[in-house]
Amino acid sequence: MSDLHDPRVLFAAERTQLAWNRTSVSLMAFGFVVERFGLFLNVLGKKGIIVMEREISFYVGLTFILLSILLSFFSILQHKNVVNSLQPAEIPKGYKLWGAAWVNGIVGLLGIILAGYIYYGFRG
């Protein structure tokens, strides 16, 4: 990828992966809020709220959560590809490369748990 022999390339890749992580968490939170807002309107018992609107809120919210899960795992693969393309001189000695990948993996797994919770809460 680069021929700079500069460790800043690695740190830029890690910052990029953490930016993907922030985006993933934001999408997950937005999906949760959209899904719960439909439930909130349903609980309030507004006259204009019909079952279809509740289902739309559920599916849109769940789609955002599933998108965040895909984004989280995709960012791990993307970071791995960038790290594999680096020269050994660009990686500082003793530096652990797995930190940001673990964080994104955990976020992805928590997203799967959240999606399951929302799905079974809606269907149950």
pLDDT tens-digit readout, 22-41: 999 999 999 999 998 887 77
pTM score, whole prediction: 0.85
Nearest-angstrom CA–CA distance, 100 and 114:
21
DSSP state of 97: S
- Mean pLDDT over 44-64 rounds to 80
Looking at residue 88, its pLDDT comes to 84
Looking at residue 5, its pLDDT comes to 72
Instruction: Record the tokens describing residue 36, joined without a space.
Output: 């719960």
What's the pLDDT tens digit per position in 75-116?
Answer: 999 999 999 998 888 888 888 888 989 999 999 999 999 999
Residue type, 38: G
DSSP state of 5: -
Looking at residue 121, its pLDDT comes to 86
In Å, how far from its chain's centre is CA 88?
Answer: 30
DSSP state of 91: S
43 pLDDT more than 80: no
How many CB atoms neighbour CB 60 within 10 A? 15
